[in-house]
Structure 1
Amino acid sequence: MRCPFCRRDNDRVIDSRASQDGAAIRRRRECLGCGRRYTTYERPEEATIKVVKRDGSRAPFEREKIQRGLERACWKRSISTRQIEATVTAIENDVFQSFETEITSAELGKLVLEHLRELDQVAFVRFASVYRKFNDARDFFEELRPMLENHPRKAPR
């Protein structure tokens, strides 16, 4: 570490302690050249995951884009902001646990659909219609068929 005062690369660490709720380490250093003291912070490097789009271009993974997509899919549904936020966090955690550097937009879309299926079936179909580029009612029906077969409607009383 170079001294910010004399620019020499010769120092010693006087004190180290956790900082920012354990997200960083604060180090108090003393330059062995000029004798002045200064503070440095050590943080883990943020993992950057790129989303590989259909056209082959790459863009950084953005939590906000996932959240906006879920909010559109859940528009006028009885789903709270807290539920959407929890779903976005779960998707983000899955991405960072399962992928190191890149994820395709197709894989990301499937992940979002898995979480939306558990959250709300109507929101799931809305998102799927955009993600899978439905062209007509038959596409909707084909997407709904597995859900309808697994969850038959209860007979009215």
Structure 2
Amino acid sequence: MKCPFCQHEDTQVLETRVSEEGDAIRRRRRCGKCDKRFTTFERVELSMPIIVKKNGMRTEYAASKLRGSLMLALRKRPVAAESIDMAVSSIEEKLLTSGLREVDSGFVGELVMQELKRLDKVAYIRFASVYKNFEDLNEFQEAIAEVGHERKGRKASS
């Protein structure tokens, strides 16, 4: 660590503590050349993966786009704002823990569909119809049947 005063590269750590919030390490340092003291903080830096679109373009992850997609599918549906926030957090956590630097937009779409299927079946069908580009009534019927079978399976196991 360079000294901020004289730019000397030899500094000594005098004291190390965890910050009050517990999210950083605070280090008290002393410069070996000018003898001045200063404090540094060490924090975890997590970054969301880059999203690779179907056309190959790369774009930064945008929570607002994710939330907008969920809100559009859930429009006029009885789902609490807290549930939407939890869905966004769940998707973001899965993206972060994937350890990938880049993910296909399709991967994000699948995560959104999982959350919508859990939150609201109608919203799931809405999103799936656009995401999977349904072209005829049969595709809608298959998606509805899929959701219906899951629901019956849950009731039978209860």
TM bin, normalised by shorter chain, reads 0.7 to 0.9
Aligned to 1:71: 71
Q: Which letter maps to 2:53?
A: K
Structure 2: give runs of 5+ residues left out of the alignment: 153-158
Aligned to 2:142: 142
d(CA) in 2 for partners of 1:33, 1:77: 66
1:96 shift after superposition: 2.0
Q: Which letter maps to 1:92?
A: E
d(CA) in 1 for partners of 2:44, 2:70: 29
Aligned to 1:96: 96
Q: Which letter maps to 2:92?
A: E
Aligned to 1:22: 22
Q: Which letter maps to 1:79?
A: V
d(CA) in 2 for partners of 1:12, 1:99: 34
Q: Could you tell which deviates more after superposition, 99-108 or 81-90? A: 99-108
Contact 2:17 2:26 in 1 (8 A): yes
Residue pairs, 1:1-150, within 5 angstroms:
1-19=1-19, 21-150=21-150
Percent of pairs with identical residues: 38
- State the secondary structure of the residue aligned to 1:72: helix
1:80 shift after superposition: 0.6
- State the secondary structure of the residue aligned to 2:79: coil
Q: Which letter maps to 1:29?
A: R
d(CA) in 2 for partners of 1:59, 1:32: 44
Q: Which letter maps to 2:19?
A: S
Q: Which letter maps to 1:44?
A: V
Q: Which letter maps to 1:133?
A: N
> When the two structures are aligned, how many residues end up with a matched partner?
152
- What are the Cα deviations for residues 9-53 of structure 1, in whole angstroms up to 9, with x where unaligned? 111111111126222111111111111111111112323311111
Q: Which letter maps to 1:142?
A: E
Change in Cα spacing, 1:79 to 1:56, as seen in structure 2 (3 Å) is same
TM-score of the superposed pair, with normalisation by structure 1: 0.86
Q: Which letter maps to 1:129?
A: S
Change in Cα spacing, 1:94 to 1:48, as seen in structure 2 (3 Å) is closer
Aligned to 2:156: none
1:67 shift after superposition: 1.4
- State the secondary structure of the residue aligned to 2:122: helix
Structure 1: give runs of 5+ residues left out of the alignment: 153-157
1:99 shift after superposition: 4.1
1:150 shift after superposition: 4.3
Aligned to 1:155: none
Change in Cα spacing, 1:135 to 1:20, as seen in structure 2 (3 Å) is farther
